[in-house]
Amino acid sequence: MRTTIVLLLALPLLGGGWLWLRGSSLVAVEHVHISGVHGPEAIEIRAALDDSARRMTTMDFDAGALRSALASYAIVAAVQVRTSFPHTVSISVSERPPVAELVSAGQRTAVAADGTVLGPALSSSSLPSVDGSVEPAPGARLSEPAALAAVTVLGAAPAPLARFVTRVYEGPEGLTVAMRSGLLVYFGNDTRSHAKWLSLARVLVSPSSAGALYIDVRLPERPAAGFSTSSGSTTGSSASGVPLQTSTSEPTAAALAASLANAVGGSTTPSSGSTAAESESATKESESTSTAAGSSTSSGEAGSSSSTAGATSSATPGASEASASPGTEAPAGASESG
């Protein structure tokens, strides 16, 4: 009975002592370690986190208060907190890096891969451009399907390839990615984006893709590359609709493959056991010449020559080799798991 009475009297005292301790200066936050913050808003984000964290204790820490302090920074996706008794807090920030620059009515704003608008402060000329008719406010999400599909594709791009993209737009072949070298890549839509980028990389490192003006990865298992049979220079259509002069002595795909190899520190030669599809050209005469975006037409003559050929390298030994039939586009089958 005496023990029970003592416990009943002691519990309120212990509870009160605990409540006092968890909010006291004995466990106040004095050291704040922040990681994962980058970009032009890094200083402001760090200051907001530090100020908010120092208002709390390690025994009574509110992560929700940190998220509220960062509500105006759209680049912040999530915050993780770890406290260390008695005075230290470690904060890890997950960001939404900008993948594109949305161009709408002459205004430019950065956009993340999930469609979140990050604001003009994070916009940069080095980012690929995506067209839009409406500019949402920072923190809002893109509502236009075409723009949302474009940033989804860009978000799936491997870093060595993403740095060469200049624009993503809707063309005659669907979603089209324009590279700095002038090469056009037909994605069609944003489904299976990772597989399509992987397929593109395999085609680029294959010698049979040298000289390609466009690469079609709408079916990632059967990519195809388009070539020009004319000598000297060929005229194609650039991403902006301005005629693009391309010299066959400096093939666009080969130039991009070389840059990609330098970026990843690898070689442009396919790995042992991989095979590249053979390409054949076809010539057809007509009274006039026309081309869709990414195709090439020889100028100055009534007849035009064009050819397309598929080119890939298989990721696994023993992949089957497919050759093109004259006058047709030659997709190359490459087995892909996952």
Q: Identify whether 91 is part of a domain.
A: yes
One domain, residues 90 and 117: no
Please report, for the domain that includes residue 87, its CATH number. Answer: 3.10.20.310
One domain, residues 112 and 200: no
Q: Identify whether 40 is part of a domain.
A: yes
One domain, residues 172 and 66: no
pLDDT at 1: 85
CB of 84 closer than 8 Å to CB of 75: no
One domain, residues 332 and 281: yes
One domain, residues 250 and 165: yes
One domain, residues 258 and 288: yes
Residues whose CB is less than 8 angstroms from the CB of residue 246 and which lie 6 or more positions away in sequence, other chains included: 182, 213, 228, 233, 234, 235, 236, 252, 296
**Tokens found for residue 235:** 């005229």
Q: Identify whether 2 is part of a domain.
A: no
CB of 296 closer than 8 Å to CB of 252: no
CA distance 274 to 245: 33
pLDDT at 190: 97
Q: Identify whether 194 is part of a domain.
A: yes
DSSP 128: P
Name the percent of the chain lying above pLDDT 90.
Answer: 54
CA distance 236 to 252: 12
One domain, residues 193 and 256: yes
Q: Identify whether 261 is part of a domain.
A: yes
CA distance 52 to 66: 6
* Distances, alpha carbon 197 to alpha carbons 44, 193, 218, 221, in Å: 35, 6, 10, 11
pLDDT at 19: 73
Q: If DSSP codes are grouped into helix, strand and coil, which group holds residue 141?
A: strand
pLDDT at 17: 67
pLDDT at 23: 82
Q: Comparing C-alpha atoms, which of 194, 182, 112 is closest to residue 147?
A: 112
pLDDT at 15: 67
Residues whose CB is less than 8 angstroms from the CB of residue 25 and which lie 6 or more positions away in sequence, other chains included: none
Amino acid at 243: P
Instruction: Work out the angle between the directed axes of helices 145-155 and 193-204 (0-180°, nearest 10).
Output: 60
Q: Comparing C-alpha atoms, which of 299, 324, 125 is closest to residue 208?
A: 324
**Tokens found for residue 140:** 């809002």
One domain, residues 107 and 59: no
CB of 113 closer than 8 Å to CB of 96: yes
Q: Where are the alpha helices (DSSP H) in the chain?
A: 2-22, 42-53, 63-69, 145-155, 159-162, 193-204, 252-264
One domain, residues 71 and 127: no
Q: Comparing C-alpha atoms, which of 179, 182, 175 is closest to residue 161?
A: 179
Q: Identify whether 304 is part of a domain.
A: yes
One domain, residues 127 and 201: no
CB of 175 closer than 8 Å to CB of 214: no
One domain, residues 275 and 205: yes
Residue 335: strand pairing partners: none
Q: Whole domain around residue 49: which residue ranges?
A: 23-95
Return the percent helix, strand and coil in the chain, to nearest 5: 25, 25, 45
pLDDT along the chain (338 residues), means of 10: 76 71 89 95 96 95 94 95 96 96 94 96 94 91 95 95 96 96 95 96 88 94 84 36 35 69 50 34 34 36 35 34 36 38
CB of 75 closer than 8 Å to CB of 112: yes
Q: Based on the structure, what is the number of domains in the chain?
A: 3
CA distance 11 to 17: 10
Q: Identify whether 314 is part of a domain.
A: yes
**CA 108 centroid distance within chain:** 18
Q: Identify whether 147 is part of a domain.
A: no
One domain, residues 167 and 300: yes
Residue 100: strand pairing partners: 111
